[in-house]
Structure formats: C-alpha cells, structure tokens
Amino acid sequence: MKVPVNSPLVGKEEIAEVNAVLRAGALTSAANLGGKNVQEFEKLVCSFVKSKYAIAVNSGTAALQAALYALDIKSGDEVLLPSFTFVATANSVISVGAKPVFVDIRRDNYTMDSDDLKKKITKKSRAIIPVHLYGNVAYIDEISEIARKHHISIIEDAAQSMGSTYKGRQTGNLSELGCFSLYAAKVMTSGEGGVIVTSNKKLHEKLLMIRNHGMVHGYDTRILGLNLRLPELNAAIAKVQMKKLPGFLQKREKNAKILTELLSGANVTLPIPRKHEKVNWYLYTIASKIRDKISSELNANDIGATVYYGTPVHKTPYYNQKTKLPNTEWAAKSVLSLPVQPLVTRNNLETIARIINKMT
C-alpha cells in the first residue's frame, strides 16, 4: 500500500543511537533500575506525561500485565474492559488468572460506556481498564467516579493514546496506572516496547521488581515477576522517538484538520474530539453503513484505509462469548480508519476525500 495507515518513522538519529549501544556493548541490563538508555527514556516519558515515575518494559502487553500484577489482581477477580479493543487488553487479564468482563462502548468516541460499566460491577470487580481507543480519551471523569464509589482500581490502556490529553492532562496520567505501547505502528516506537506510568511510589517500586523476576538486588525474588525488560537497543530508539513525538503529533493534527474540512459534506460520521479533549490522531476513524465499499475503493487507490476492529474480542474464537454488546457490534461493522500519519500529503488527503465524497 502506498499510503499506509501508520508506519514507523525512523531516521539517522535513531540509527546513530542504536550504533552507539552496539559499540558500547551493553545491550541490556538486569539491574533493578535498568540500563542507561532505559533510564534516559523513562525520564523523558515522565517529563512528557508529567508522572513521577515511568517503567519501560518490552511491550504494551507486558505493561498491562505488570500493572495487573502490581495491583495483585489474580484468580477469582474480575476486570472490566471493553471488547472493542486490541485483544492484548483482554489477554493480559487472562494472563494473571483473572476474568475479563466485557463492557459496551459509546457510539460517539468508541470508548467504554459508563452506564454499561455500572451494570457490570460485582463484588468480584477489582479493576477497570478503560481503553483510549484510536487516541480518543475515554470518559475518565465518569469512570473514575464509579471506580471510587466501588473501591476499584483503574489501569488506563493508553497503548494508542500517547500524547492525547483531557483537561490538559496526558492520558496514562489520568489515573493511578497508565500503560503505553511502543509497537512499530504507534505514534512513536521502539520496534517493540511499552511503558507504565504512575505517581505512586509503592507501585513504582513494585513494578521495577515485576519487570525483573521480582528481584531487587539479584537472585532475591520477593514477589512474582517475569522478564519484562526493554533491551537497550530498543530504549535507544524510544529515546529519540520521544524527542520527535511533538513534531509527529503536530503533523497528524494538521492532516486530521484538513481531512475533517475536506469531508465536511460527506455522509459519514466524522471523529470530533469533545470539549477539553485533545487527541493524538493515532487513527482517524470514520463510521459508515457502506464501510466495506469505501474501504475497498480506497485500497484500490493505494490508500491504506483499515478496519480496527472487525471482530470484537468477545467474538473471537478463543473468547467466544454470547454477551450482547450492541454498540460494539455496530462499531465492528461500521468503523474505518484513514491515514493521517506524518508522511501523508495534502494530495493523499484530497484523494481520500474525493473518493468518500463521491460514494456517500
């Protein structure tokens, strides 16, 4: 596809940093605080997200898993999350032995519906994982109020939302724990990687141990952990990408604005950020009854329009649940994400708009 919906953007700066790691020879570090590049990257994350701590790990999935371990979520516990997400959100819950309970989404921004959330809380509910899907910020005020009332923890799945803000605060830092993914197709990347943010000292200390087999000084396992460490090579890439992130986000915002203008007359549902919300435009997602036709036509014209997600998690063969989630099922049939990544040109946006305007 000539215009991918997302792709990694690495340049000579990343190559130089990776070469420096290779030359120095310290490819990873099993020290409690991690290697030099890991620590430098974590500092940059803290200053961007405005959290006290950041703990780099080797994937967004590992970040979620570590956060669940840190809260001692285990067998017999229920964790509430949307089904309209990437399967990693639910798999991380299964991986710690807990039960995922699927909550429907809102139609306006495809994130967790707090009315359905209320209905699904039980005595076993221990955590809520709102997902800032596509970079759209979940209705965190409502969700936080419910969580407070029922003494349930929140873990933000901010895998897709690095740089999105609500009331001026970064996602990931809207609750006690936030998890980002640094997978290659995200707004910034380390190839594979993830990072957890928190301002809670105890959780920070615990997460450092969980990242490294529960050890503090080495061979002194105190709690259950795994090898979730981010290699230095990946941390070196992440460090550079973190510095480039504001520039990447600016370009995405500009492209999204142009696309919204060009599509203003189209008969499709456009993504409109709500009051106090700034989205990172990881995925510019429209909804239409003729989604599949629009998608085929765009693809035939080399535009990498893509469906996230055609099968909600609860309907995948492994989960195979009969739960009724009407808005989730509607979204799975209707959504289509259009490229607004930094390399998309005005010409590309005009092609997208011409096709959609003609078809709707």
Task: Note the residues at the interface with ligand PLP (CB under 6 A).
Answer: 59-61, 85-86, 88-89, 131, 157, 159-160, 181, 183, 194
Shortest Å, Cβ 123 to ligand PLP: 27
Shortest Å, Cβ 158 to ligand PLP: 8
Q: Which residue is nearest to ligand PLP (CB)?
A: 60
Which is nearest to 77 in space by CA: 63, 89, 95? 95
Distance CA 175, CA 95 (A): 22
Shortest Å, Cβ 194 to ligand PLP: 5
Q: How many CA atoms lie within 13 A of 307 on its CB side?
A: 19
**Cis before 219 (ω within 30):** no
Distance CA 308, CA 198 (A): 28
Shortest Å, Cβ 187 to ligand PLP: 11
Cβ-proximal residues to 349 (8 Å cutoff; 6+ apart), any chain: 255, 258, 259, 262, 340
| CB closer to ligand PLP out of 57 and 355 | 57
Shortest Å, Cβ 10 to ligand PLP: 17
Cβ-proximal residues to 95 (8 Å cutoff; 6+ apart), any chain: 65, 68
| CB closer to ligand PLP out of 121 and 158 | 158
| CB closer to ligand PLP out of 90 and 356 | 90
Shortest Å, Cβ 61 to ligand PLP: 3
Residue ranges of alpha helices (H) inside 231-300 are 232-262, 291-300
| CB closer to ligand PLP out of 60 and 178 | 60
CB 180 within 8 A of CB 197: yes
| CB closer to ligand PLP out of 28 and 61 | 61
Identity of residue 310:
G
Distance CA 63, CA 159 (A): 9
Shortest Å, Cβ 309 to ligand PLP: 9
| CB closer to ligand PLP out of 181 and 337 | 181
Shortest Å, Cβ 258 to ligand PLP: 25
**Cis before 309 (ω within 30):** yes
| CB closer to ligand PLP out of 163 and 349 | 163
Identity of residue 52:
K
Give the distance from CA 152 to its chain's centroid: 21
Rounded to 10 degrees, the C-alpha dihedral 184/189/194/200 comes to: -150
222 three-class SS: coil
Distance CA 10, CA 242 (A): 12
| CB closer to ligand PLP out of 85 and 285 | 85
